[in-house]
Amino acid sequence: MTTNTNPGNFANRPTEEVREIAAMGGRASHGGGNAAESQTQPDRNADGTFTKGSELARELGAQGGHASHGSEHATGATGSHPDRNPDGTFTKGSEAAREAGIRGGHASHGGGHTEQTENLPGRNPDGTFTKGSEAAKEAGIKGGHASHGGS
């Protein structure tokens, strides 16, 4: 048991009081108010949630779905990117996917550039290891040690 008597600490307040405060916060965050307010919003329940079958809920849900998946419908764009599928993913073999992968690889590995790696022994011009190279073997050993807590 703690001796902290700070009234701002919810652990020191009666359970019912904490529930009331939480309920007020919930109503405020979901647009809840009194019944008169909810009657001015035909697509809303008294607690601020959408009514079942609400057209507004359907429209807003669709907008959110389009926005979260990078759809042109959310941004108002009329053309589509040639390297992207309708769902926003890259098309198979797209140049944009290759470039994004290279940028991501460089970012995750300290930002090295292909110009720096193409002259290294055991490396291809794109920075990957050549088949059977000593550099690949050493990197594999280092990775194995690192993943198993070795030095």
Provide the number of structural domains found in the chain: 2
The answer to the question of residue 84 being in a domain is no
pLDDT at 78: 41
Which residues of the chain fall below pLDDT 50?
A: 1, 38, 73-79, 113-115
Question: 6 in a domain, yes or no?
Answer: yes
Is 71 inside a domain boundary?
no
Predicted local distance difference test score (pLDDT) of residue 22: 85
DSSP string covering the chain: ------TTSGGGS-HHHHHHHHHHHHHHHTT---HHHHHT-TTB-TTSSBPTT-HHHHHHHHHHHHHHTT-HHHHT--S--TTB-TTSPBPTT-HHHHHHHHHHHHHHTTS--HHHHTTSTTB-TTSPBPTT-HHHHHHHHHHHHHHTT--
pLDDT score recorded for residue 77? 47
In a domain, 82, yes or no: no
Q: What is the pTM of this model?
A: 0.25
Q: What pLDDT does 138 receive?
A: 85
144 within a domain of the structure (yes/no): yes
Q: What is the pLDDT of residue 33?
A: 55
120 part of a folded domain: yes
In a domain, 143, yes or no: yes
Report the distance separating Cα 140 and Cα 101, nearest Å.
21
Please, is 59 exposed, middle or buried when counting C-beta atoms within 10 Å of its C-beta (0-12, 13-18, 19+)? exposed
Model pLDDT, residue 88: 79
Give me 71's structure tokens: 């759809």
The verdict on residue 134 lying in a domain is yes
Structural domain including 122 reads: 113-151
pLDDT of residue 71: 53
